[in-house]
Structure 1
Amino acid sequence: MKNRTLHSYVFIVPSLLFTLVLGVYPILWALRYMFYDYPGYGVPQFIGLANFTRVMNDDVFWQSVVNTFVYAAGKIVVTIPLSLLLAVILNRAIRGRQVLRAIYFMPTIISASVMSIVFGIVFNSYNGILNQYLMKLGIVSKPIEWLGPDYAMVTVIIIAIWGAIGNYMLLFLAGLQNISEDLYEAASIDGANTPQKFWYITIPLLGPILQMIMMLVITVSLKGYENIMVLTEGGPFGKTEVMFLYVYKLFFPVSTTNANVQQIGYGSAVGFVTALIVGVVTLFYFAASRRLNKLY
């Protein structure tokens, strides 16, 4: 018995060390520097709550919060229904459905950086593939600035949706395949049509997995910034600046942004407030999902 217990701890220790070193320690390190003015070099200067006062008056940060919720809402509203629709279609006995499932799932395993570079070529304002086809077909008379102030947010949302639907489609497929065909046959005998079977059988029985997918989409959307960083760096004029991208810039500044000086102390404070916002949204969703549980 002792040997079995020892073996169990041996297997647990590597994962525990990995979590402590790469998970817990960075959080504690950032929590400490929230109260310091620290540009990444020299001696940190304790400034108390000054960083949080600065956060409350940081217009760029609060605009990034608004942009984050716009980005998340656009992604959620389209991704979940589209993923469910694809799952329902590909759950039927149609020719080539396995190939189609693989094709739709493929974007999930592509690097966000690579995907963004490819879409940057597609949506390029002047020699992009999309504009060339639109002009050749006569749909538009001049190139559209897809990454300009008017369309940049819509463009990054479209790219995020393209990269996400395959993953959630697969989860919906797993849920659909656990629903017994006997229920649909019984409903057909009772005279139910296809929309009624979908609304009164499919949706309620997908309830638990739908709640899980909603949680994943919300948290991933609020934390997402990779494709935006590659495509626009938060521009133009802050139109696509999102919370976690702003935090990233404070820790790892680039010369083309407004945060071109490393600000570890302030970045830690902004990161903490950002985590609180995501946490509050998550708790709100958990509270709402408990009420939804009563419907199933």
Structure 2
Amino acid sequence: MSKFLGTGVALVTPFNANLEVDHEALANIVNYNIDNGTDYLVICGTTAESVTLTKEEKKDVLNTITKISNGRVPLVLGIGGSNTASIIKEIKSTDLSQIDAILSVAPYYSKPTQEGIYQHFKAISEVSPVDLILYNVPGRTSKNMDVDTTLRLANDFKNVIGVKEAGNNMSQYYELIKNKPSDFLVISGDDDLALGVTLAGGAGVISVIGQAFPKEFSEMIRLGLNGDAKAAFNSHFKLMDVIGYIFEENNPAGIKAVFKALNLCSDQVRLPIVPASNVLQEKINSFVRNF
């Protein structure tokens, strides 16, 4: 499980002017991250605008990333949603031969009970041929996965190896870290809290901003894993403003605005998301110029 210590990044899906997937830009972003220290890649997560991708586009994105990464770093694939049976079907029909783990978001919209969340992930874990990382993001799902539910799953299923916790709640992080099984990974899903979580005993982060500044962000997390708080916070403070910027309006419009400033891909997004406003783009441009 040490393969998921450090910095994972939730990759964007670049689009061209016609809103088709830009596979050349995607390949460049993958190489940029691997060459600059990112520890693992997360494919077709929320930041990838996966809900707007067709099944064929998801397959093509997966093929591009597996081809370009070529075994250099572990790969995590997002497969989740509110229809448990549909998720099980997708897992069974997807070629996971080059995938190290599935990241599965807690059910959204339906707002199940904690028992419903438990039974949902129980059903997924029982059919998954690879390890499973839970994803708790109540700001998007409208339902928090309680600590007791996460720990129950961690203790009951060997292939449930970690949680991407994104409740932006340090008390919940601390409770998870304090009471988790020794080999269970508590991974920050909040870029602004990632360093603090890591210093408290977390396993690192699955980051959005990290894919734009992989060298600096991954080094910050490595320093945190090594307990070098002073040096790590120096890095955090350098990135603090842009972390705020990318979530100011919408994710992934913000991170794509950063990529546009870095000339790595366009800022095109699919509706109902719209590109960053001119005001936000200029703030991001200024940050990139001065970084």
Q: Under TM normalisation by the shorter chain, which class is it?
A: under 0.3
* Larger RCO (CA under 8 A, 6+ residues apart): 1
Larger strand proportion, structure 1 or 2? 2
Q: What TM-score do the two structures reach when normalised by structure 2?
A: 0.27
Larger helix proportion, structure 1 or 2? 1
